[in-house]
Structure 1
């Protein structure tokens, strides 16, 4: 009986150490382009709060953000975060921004 309990604990330990309980995703971030065609275009300013987003001072929903930015061709976007913003909120915003073609995103510190 003792050896059976040892084997069960070893199997339990093995499966606990080899299992993956969460999946991690990746978001590609590219460095900000210096100069070029984007230098003459005035950048847009996105303020990310814990619950709201403001694009150039106007409140905007996360769902409609990509549609608004897709209307503008070759846009630079500066993203500013408040102290209360969680990293998951930033990842959600960057995932939406990733789908916009021709958008250069810079996250401010």
Structure 2
């Protein structure tokens, strides 16, 4: 005759250590996350968009952006001097008129941060319709 051992009562599973691990993971992800809002810069590319407007009376400005140089209409200019040069080229009535400014990135070593720095400076100048070539 088979001998049966008395049934052992099951112990309850302790979830204390599981709660500790979940709390530590939650704390880690909360502290390592950033909750800042990133700034947005609108880009208008020169290749897409609505139909081309009628030709302007003033020719567009051409800005060539390199890793170390900026050329405005083939004349080298620094990023700090660019607002003064653009103020001289701005239309007289910036409320109703705008002048097209075409940006052509050049060189393989050009970074996107350099383009963003330029766009931040250009957005502060009124009276310009900024276009970025691809």
TM-score by length of 2: 0.65
Name 1:92's counterpart in structure 2: 117
Contact 1:32 1:104 in 2 (8 A): no
CA RMSD of superposed structures (Å)? 2.7
**Which has the larger Rg?**
2
- Structure 1 unaligned segments of length 5 or more: list them: none
SS at match of 1:26: coil
Contact 1:46 1:77 in 2 (8 A): yes
Count of equivalent residues: 106
- Structure 2 unaligned segments of length 5 or more: list them: 1-15, 92-97
- Aligned equivalents of 1:33 and 1:25: distance in 2? 29
More helix by share: 1
Name 1:28's counterpart in structure 2: 42
Contact 2:43 2:131 in 1 (8 A): no
